[in-house]
């Protein structure tokens, strides 16, 4: 078995080293700290929801928090992976690959929003740096509005 310092990434690989590969693979795609904080605040308010659920059965995408009866899908996007205008910093290593990946993520996010809205869903998106209390308050208000009987 070769030493990690001798590791060479395969041609066209996204990882520039074995250590980078391990770091990137360790990044959570769900149950991140911002998501857990928001969910905890919502749960404390008595709200119940689905976690990492597909709002639409035909759409191969999951929302972080889903309120099915209210038709509300909530996404808490990471600044790096979703291209936050405030905090995204283009990578120094393998910039072509990563910048393209983030651009594809942004395009997919917009497409997801459109598909859900066309199916009658309300979509809320927050950045990981948004205060959890503000996110939870806006989500709770939206759920309340969507559940209210229309007159």
How many angstroms separate the Cα of 140 from the Cα of each of 54, 65, 67? Answer: 20, 12, 11
Beginning with the edge strand found earlier in the chain, give each strand of the sheet holding 50-53 in spatial order: 50-53, 63-67, 72-77, 122-127
Token pair of 109 as six digits: 């996010």
Ordered per-residue pLDDT tens for the chain, 151 residues: 444 444 444 455 555 556 655 555 555 567 899 999 999 999 999 999 999 999 999 999 999 999 999 999 999 999 988 999 999 888 888 888 888 999 999 999 999 999 999 999 999 999 999 999 999 999 999 999 999 987 6
d(C-alpha 66, C-alpha 12), whole Å:
36
Q: Model confidence over 71-86: pLDDT tens digits?
A: 999 999 999 889 999 9
Q: What is the pTM of this model?
A: 0.81
* Structural domains of the chain sorted by starting position, each given as residue range(s) with its CATH number in brackets: 20-146 (3.40.960.10)
Residue 7 CB neighbour total at 10 angstroms: 13
């Amino acid at each position: 078995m070769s030493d990690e310092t001798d590791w060479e990434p395969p041609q066209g690989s996204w990882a520039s080293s074995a250590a980078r590969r391990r770091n990137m693979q360790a990044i959570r795609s769900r149950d991140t700290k911002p998501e857990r904080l928001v969910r905890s605040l919502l749960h404390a308010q008595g709200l119940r929801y689905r976690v990492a659920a597909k709002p639409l059965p035909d759409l191969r995408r999951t929302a972080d928090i889903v309120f099915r009866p209210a038709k509300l899908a909530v996404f808490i996007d990471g600044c790096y992976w979703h291209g936050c205008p405030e905090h995204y910093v283009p990578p120094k290593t393998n910039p072509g690959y990563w910048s393209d990946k983030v651009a594809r993520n942004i395009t997919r996010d917009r497409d997801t929003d459109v598909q859900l809205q066309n199916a009658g869903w309300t979509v809320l998106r927050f950045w990981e740096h948004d205060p959890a209390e503000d996110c939870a308050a806006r989500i709770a208000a939206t759920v309340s509005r969507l559940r209210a009987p229309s007159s």
